[in-house]
A and B are shown apart, each in its own frame.
Chain A
Amino acid sequence: MEIINYEYKKTDNRDVIAAIQPKAETAGVAVKFSEFKEQLFCEIDSADIKKFCSLLNSDAELSFEYIKFLTAVDYVEYIEMVYCLYSFKNNWSIIIKVKLDGRKPVVDSVCSIYRGADWHERETAEMFGIDIMDHPNLKHLLLAGDEDGYPLRKNFEIKWEEREYIPPEKFE
């Protein structure tokens, strides 16, 4: 097996935008870029996520072949899916954001493109109640499945159970 060496490369977000923009346009994905603290955020429509991810993954120049993580954020009115991708070749990383409807969130699975997203999607699905389409195995992962509601939603109440202390009966 040959050794590939990745070293420190200075990156500029403008280069990333310049590389992604024309390819996304030809694929028919409308991307809105924004920057915050040297991080690049791309906002796309929820229907395009699978198309956009497969474009980023398969394109030889971009080669975003590594998924750092995938999660969701509950903003009460809407739920936002967050995908963080990384390109080893160029040392680029982007954060893709997808807005979902807060009452009935549905999104396509990217599991067929990034197999590492499998459990991340399962976790997100059970924690936020997001319906992830075409996921091969959407079982409960971390939770037992007997809780009412979705734990990481904002409307999920944590019950602070103050238990009264009952001393044990004396041992004989």
Chain B
Amino acid sequence: MLGVGLLKGLKTTLRAFFSRPVTIMYPYERVRIGDRGQGLIKLRVTSFDPVVYKCTGCGICEKNCPQRCIEVTKKEGEKQPEIYTVNYGLCMFCRICIDVCPFDALEMTQDSEHIGYSRQDFIWEKEKLAMKSLYIVEEKTPASRDADGASS
């Protein structure tokens, strides 16, 4: 009979009408992304005074980056990066740099918001990259890595 399907559909619509909203009021309410989430890159630091990076400036991440957004240089004989910049305007958050790093010096954070007024704001220096971790990094055990930190 014509119209039965329409009425059945209307039932679904009515059910949705009286159910709770599913949207989130974004700037006021926030969803935390999972701890495997693809966020900004963080340079790990072993001590802050003086600043000692875990990075040795070997440049493996620079070579492996598909988007060529990382730039690393180091002085002769030193085991610290002199320049370490990430251009977030190019970065596609593929996590290859983290996978290839032999010193475990990079980490992906759960911060995904990055805005700026000019393109220069997306080029982050090593100080700014390390700033995301204002604490001394503990070695993460595989068990704590597997802890679920995702939202649902």
Contact = CB atoms under 8 A, between A and B. Distances in A.
Contacts of B120: 165, 167
A76 B118 CA distance: 44
A168 B116 CA distance: 13
Chain B interface residue bracket vs A: under 10
B119 interface: yes
A135 B152 CA distance: 54
Interface residues of A, number: 3
Contacts of B118: 167-168
B119 to A, nearest CB: 6
Nearest to A162: B68
Nearest to A168: B118
Nearest to B118: A167
A165 B118 CA distance: 10
A73 to B, nearest CB: 23
B49 to A, nearest CB: 34
A165 B121 CA distance: 12
B118 to A, nearest CB: 5
A167 B121 CA distance: 11
A62 B118 CA distance: 62
Interface string B116-146: 0011100000000000000000000000000
A168 B121 CA distance: 13
Interface in A156-172: 165, 167-168
A86 to B, nearest CB: 33
B66 to A, nearest CB: 13
Contacts of A165: 119-120
Contacts of B119: 165, 167
Interface string A131-172: 000000000000000000000000000000000010110000
